[in-house]
Amino acid sequence: MAKYAISGVWKNGDDVITHYAFHEMNEEGNFRAVKKSKSEAIKLLETSGNTAITWIWNYKDSKWNSGQNVVVANDSDGKYLKTSPDNKEMNNLKHLIDYYWIAP
């Protein structure tokens, strides 16, 4: 059973999310990001007891703020991650920091 925060994403040339930056949350603080593929991320969140939220960078206060819960959804194209709907664009996974500039 683990709690995670997702701070950013990697997208392909078609603007589709392919990887996520997962941080495991614990009593001692937050771990560094670990790059997880879409399938790895889905498997992690389908594991009983595991949960995730988005992490939104607060530029004014220079810290991470908790965003929305992240869940596994399924449609005709297969499984994917999504946030709980709250009509706030900045909380959606596609609008998290794009880590394309970080080496794989």
| High-pLDDT (> 70) share of the chain, % | 90
What SS3 state is found at 28? coil
pLDDT in tens, 41-52: 999 999 999 999
In the prediction, which pLDDT does 91 show? Answer: 56
Average pLDDT over residues 70-86: 88
Q: Which two tokens stand for residue 16?
A: 């589709």
Q: Where are the domains of the chain?
A: 3-98
Beta bridge partners of 36: 20
Weakest mean pLDDT among 17-26, 50-59, 68-77, 79-88:
79-88
Give the DSSP letter string of 42-80.
Answer: HHHHHSTT-EEEEEEEETTTTEEEEEEEEEEEEETTEEE
Q: How far apart are CA 11 and CA 17, in angstroms?
A: 4
State the Cα angle at 58 between 90 and 1, rounded to 5°: 75
Rounded average pLDDT over 20-33 = 87
Does 103 have pLDDT greater than 80?
no
- Record the pTM: 0.88
